[in-house]
Structure 1
Amino acid sequence: MNKKSIMFLALVAIAALIALSACGNKTNNNANNAGNAATGTAPAGTPAAGGGEAKSITVNAKNFEFEPAEFQAKVGDKLTISLNNTAGNHGLAIPELGVNLKNGESATVTLDKAGTYDFNCSIQCGSGHDNMVGKLTVTET
């Protein structure tokens, strides 16, 4: 084997290690947590019906799926989304709402438009990464 072949193989091995390192069980506890309320429940004292409720959802991520993969809210709701990695290193992005979370982070958005908002894993996490998707459905009040 010549020197160029050895260098090429070494570069390929390093690239593979970097790509696969995102799948480890590394935790990324950033500040920006808004708490982890029970999935889909509103805090005490919020309105009982219609939009405008304060809601929280914790999305658990593992190789290669979100749980829940689908959730709903209403126009006017103030939704806090938290990400909890249970296996692997994942992110959660909802581009249309400006949400991009890492493990342990939360984001609060006020939902002002009905529609379906797709979300996906925002950290390259391995061979099933492209299939790691879900959706938030926002309905009229």
Structure 2
Amino acid sequence: MRHKLASLLILGALAFALSACGGGKDSGPQASESPSASQTASQEVVIKASNWEFDKPEYIVPKDTPVKITLELDGGHGIKIDEAGINLGPGHESTVVTMKAGTYEFKCSIMCGRGHKDMVSKLIVQ
């Protein structure tokens, strides 16, 4: 009986933790996600996340132009930029956005281990 109760508590905690890692798409005032899959991006930016780092300290994209942002994952990582409407991670690795000029700092949005706090980069829109 104790084993069964402990298993149920662990499963409940796991379900809660996993639901906290997910989330819906946020829409911000400075970006718009493509309304349909038929919109073609003029450029693609690939952000690679692995071993507590992103592959570049900054990524540059054109302003007011549809851009496909793709997150290549090696492990459990994600990025979220609220003001740009970007929320990527396992199961949702790419999106098309049109952004206004600015610099958007982002961090890994999924607790990924001891180097999590060091996973910081910038998306520069010009």
Normalising by structure 1, we get a TM-score of 0.56
Tell me, in whole angstroms, the C-alpha distance in 2 between the residues paired with 1:130 and 1:78: 30
Tell me, in whole angstroms, the C-alpha distance in 1 between the residues paired with 2:63 and 2:112: 32
Q: Is the 8 A contact 2:45 2:61 kept in 1?
A: no
Identify the residue that residue 79 of structure 1 maps to in structure 2: 67
Matches within 5 A, 1:9-48: none
Paired letter, 1:77: T
Identify the residue that residue 70 of structure 1 maps to in structure 2: 58
SS of match in other structure, 1:75: coil
Q: Is the 8 A contact 2:69 2:95 kept in 1?
A: yes
- Runs ≥4 residues deviating over 3 A: none
Unaligned 5+ segments in structure 1 are 1-13, 23-45, 47-52
Report the CA distance between 1:69 and its aligned residue: 3.1
Report the CA distance between 1:75 and its aligned residue: 1.5
Matches within 5 A, 1:1-141: 54-86=42-74, 88-103=75-90, 105-111=93-99, 113-139=100-126
Tell me, in whole angstroms, the C-alpha distance in 1 between the residues paired with 2:118 and 2:95: 23
Deviations 1:23-47 (A, max 9, x none): xxxxxxxxxxxxxxxxxxxxxxx9x
Paired letter, 1:69: P
Q: Is the 8 A contact 2:71 2:94 kept in 1?
A: yes
User: Percent identity, aligned pairs only?
Assistant: 45
Deviations 1:74-123 (A, max 9, x none): 2212111111112x211111121111111361011101x21101111110
SS of match in other structure, 1:89: coil
CA-atom RMSD in angstroms: 2.4
Tell me, in whole angstroms, the C-alpha distance in 2 between the residues paired with 1:99 and 1:54: 17
When the two structures are aligned, how many residues end up with a matched partner?
A: 90
Bigger-Rg structure (1/2): 1
Tell me, in whole angstroms, the C-alpha distance in 1 between the residues paired with 2:56 and 2:121: 8
Q: Is the 8 A contact 1:92 1:100 kept in 2?
A: yes
Identify the residue that residue 35 of structure 1 maps to in structure 2: none
